[in-house]
Each structure stands twice: as C-alpha cells, then as structure tokens.
Amino acid sequence: MMTSARTLRIDLSYKGTEFRGFAENPGVRTVGGELRQALETVLGEEIELTVAGRTDAGVHALGQVVSFQTTNEGVDPDLLRDSLNGMCSSDLRVQAVTLAEADFNARFSASKRTYHYNILNSPTADPLHADVEWHIGPPLDVDAMNDAASRFIGEHDFTSFCRRPKDRPDEPLIRRVVTSEWIWIAEQRLRFVIEGNAFCHQMVRSLTGFCVAAGFGKRSADEFEAVVRAKDRSAAPPIAPPHGLTLMQVSYQKSG
C-alpha cells in the first residue's frame, strides 16, 4: 500500500549574519541547507523545502515559514521541533512545527509579507547592534523619507527596484504594497515598516535606498514614478546593505 504524503509547516527565526542566505548553495552555509540536512537526518528521507521568502546573505528573519512533505507517518510535530533545534546552530531556531492542509505551500499560499528595516542615525555606531541595523552618521530628513515611502503604496511595476531572476527573465515584477512608513522606535533609531502581497529580489533594500537618498536630499519623492517608468535598475539609487533587514511575518488567509 502506497503511503500518502503529509504536509508540514515550519515557523522559524534566524540571525542571518553568518548565513549566505536561505537558498542552498554548494560550499557555503545557508539556512535552507542546514534545515534540510537536519530534517533528512531526523526523518530518514529526502526532503524538498518551499520557503515563503528567500532571504539574501546577511538578512534576518523572525517569522519565516517553510513547508515540506513527508511520508513518515510517525512524525510528532513537537518532538520534531525539539530535535531540529538540538541539531541546528543557535542562530537558527524552529519556533513551531504544525501539520498543514495538504495543499498548503509556504510561498504560494501566503497573502502578505511584512519586513522591517532598521537604521541607527547617529554620529557613532552601536557595536552591540552593528549586524542588525544600518548605521548612518549624517542626519536624515525623516519627513522626506516618509514622503518617498508613501509613493510605494499601491500596485506598481517594481522592475527598477528588483534584481530580475536569471531563471525567470520574463517574469512580471508587479507587486502590491499596502503599508510603507518610517517610524521612530527609539532615540536615533528608525524603522521602515513595509507590507505587501509579495516582494521581488532585493526590492525592500532598493526601496530603502530610495528613501535614504530622499532623506539626504539627493532624490525627490516625486521622482518615484519616473524611476518606475524607466524599468531599469540603474535609474534607482544604490540599495541598502542587507544586515538591517528582517522578515518579520508571513500571513496566510484562513480557509473555510
């Protein structure tokens, strides 16, 4: 009798400083590689992971979601969580393992993703947080940054703000942003909060770079539409470094 596969969901967090991103890459340490190897060791079968957001090297996550299928009928989700945490390094933690609907897909079932980008705007850096925030010394015009951020809301072709996938050169890069704002979280500490249905490669970092350019007076918020129309990455300012970015949450519509 053929054993039917079950779909499991993993909620995990990680500090991306020492990882070369999520996607597996031979010869380097990645989140997906470490997690898959641990899963295969525990379950005794080959595992293929699907991830909600393929984070780059140096990018962090508090609310990453992964799904996979297993034919192992004896899986106890809580025991699997504990086993994975016992095998994985301390900068990668599995927060929960749950049995999902058969058609659940961490990437394609997601309805919204939320990212935070943190900036320390002060004359000197903070060595205790240097790997989780972008230190910018000169003062920023936060009102100008919020003016720029407000232009991102809605549905746009973000080709100028994305690195196009090499394996999908013709894929449309139209995305819908529902929240986009800069807030003060502490003295001299800024946070970019952005939510959307999906984000293409390096999109949040590129939009952050546009806001920072506006904060320095190098770009005007009014230029956003022209950059969008250009459909050319060279039309946008340099992207922000990866270490200030964190994937905070992936949302899914409830079925039924």
146 Cβ partners below 8 Å, 6+ apart?
181, 182
Q: Which of the residues in the chain have pLDDT under 50? A: 1, 255-256
- Helix (H/G/I), strand (E/B), else coil: 108: coil
Of the residues 56, 91, 131, 157, only one is catalytic, namely: 56
Fold of 110-252: Alpha-Beta Plaits (3.30.70)
Fold of 6-99: Alpha-Beta Plaits (3.30.70)
Burial class (CB in 10 A: 0-12, 13-18, 19+), 72: middle
Identify the CA nearest to 47 among candidates 27, 24, 15, 26.
24
Beta partners for residue 156, in sequence order: 175
| Domain ranges in the chain with CATH number 3.30.70.660 | 110-252
What is the structure's pLDDT at 253? 84
Token pair 């270490």 is at which residue? 243
Say how far apart CA 70 and CA 78 lie, in whole Å. 16
What is the structure's pLDDT at 250? 98
In tens, the pLDDT along 14-63 reads 999 999 999 999 999 999 999 999 999 999 999 999 999 999 999 999 99
Whether 103 sits among the annotated catalytic residues: the reply is: no
What is the structure's pLDDT at 3? 58
| Domain ranges in the chain with CATH number 3.30.70.580 | 6-99
